[in-house]
Chains A and B, each alone.
Chain A
Amino acid sequence: DAGVIQSPRHEVTEMGQEVTLRCKPISGHDYLFWYRQTMMRGLELLIYFNNNVPIDDSGMPEDRFSAKMPNASFSTLKIQPSEPRDSAVYFCASSLANQPQHFGDGTRLSIL
């Protein structure tokens, strides 16, 4: 069975550039989550969707971050403009309600 698919696996770009991270959840899952993980702050929930609708975006750091889920099989997390402090591993996860989340491999983002 296909798991959660994220792309790209690695991204290195210069500050000020736009970064777009992509996620394909597991088919049939109605919840999708975006996380950021750093050594300092651990795993932080940025935003989550239920049936393609954003439910809670209180974890989004600032207006430079935006997320969309145009359909049940695709979501994006965009950072514009990017800054060095955005460097982290970004995970996407999906699940059914109150069931365990399944994580993608993550995107390792480095902003120079």
Chain B
Amino acid sequence: RKEVEQDPGPFNVPEGATVAFNCTYSNSASQSFFWYRQDCRKEPKLLMSVYSSGNEDGRFTAQLNRASQYISLLIRDSKLSDSATYLCVNSGGSYIPTFGRGTSLIVHP
């Protein structure tokens, strides 16, 4: 079983839609969680950290469910510019960060 699993998509949604991604992890000792965004032919860039209490940044909301070992990312009012691949990352006590394969999002007019 892969340590971090994501639905590769693509998720194809119209502008203005709300879309949610989940990411499951197998390492119960994971301590830190992040969502990254990667545009085509670019490097991954930090989108947001994921805290136990959940956190929100504008149209983006991230949540952590330790009992079920998954993190989620919700994007409201999707924009064309949100089209990208979204990668989840977790790291555990041994601090070996593990990236998921990413979920592709395509927002169309």
Query: What is A's interface to B at a CB cutoff of 8 Å?
Result: 31, 33, 42-43, 45, 48, 56, 91, 97-106
Which residues of the partner chain B approach A42 to less than 8 Å between Cβ atoms?
99-102
Interface assignment of B66: CB less than 8 Å from any CB of chain A: no
Q: How far is the CA of A81 from the CA of B53 in the complex (A)?
A: 49
**Min C-beta distance of B73 to chain A, whole Å:** 15
In contact, A43 and B87 (Cβ under 8 angstroms): yes
Binary A-proximity of B68-109 (CB < 8 A = 1, otherwise 0): 000000000000000000010101000111111110000000
Count class of interface residues, chain B: 20 to 34
Q: How far is the CA of A63 from the CA of B46 in the complex (A)?
A: 32
Chain B residue at smallest Cβ distance from A56: B96
Chain A residue at smallest Cβ distance from B100: A42
Chain A residue at smallest Cβ distance from B49: A100
In contact, A45 and B31 (Cβ under 8 angstroms): no
In contact, A103 and B97 (Cβ under 8 angstroms): no
Query: What is B's interface to A at a CB cutoff of 8 Å?
Result: 31-32, 34, 42-46, 49, 87, 89, 91, 95-102
Which residues of the partner chain A approach B42 to less than 8 Å between Cβ atoms?
105
Residue in contact with A97 in the complex, picked from B34, B87, B95, CB distance below 8 Å: B95
**Min C-beta distance of B40 to chain A, whole Å:** 11
Which residues of the partner chain A approach B97 to less than 8 Å between Cβ atoms?
33, 45, 101
Which residues of the partner chain A approach B100 to less than 8 Å between Cβ atoms?
42
Which residues of the partner chain A approach B89 to less than 8 Å between Cβ atoms?
101
Which residues of the partner chain A approach B46 to less than 8 Å between Cβ atoms?
100-102
**Min C-beta distance of B3 to chain A, whole Å:** 11
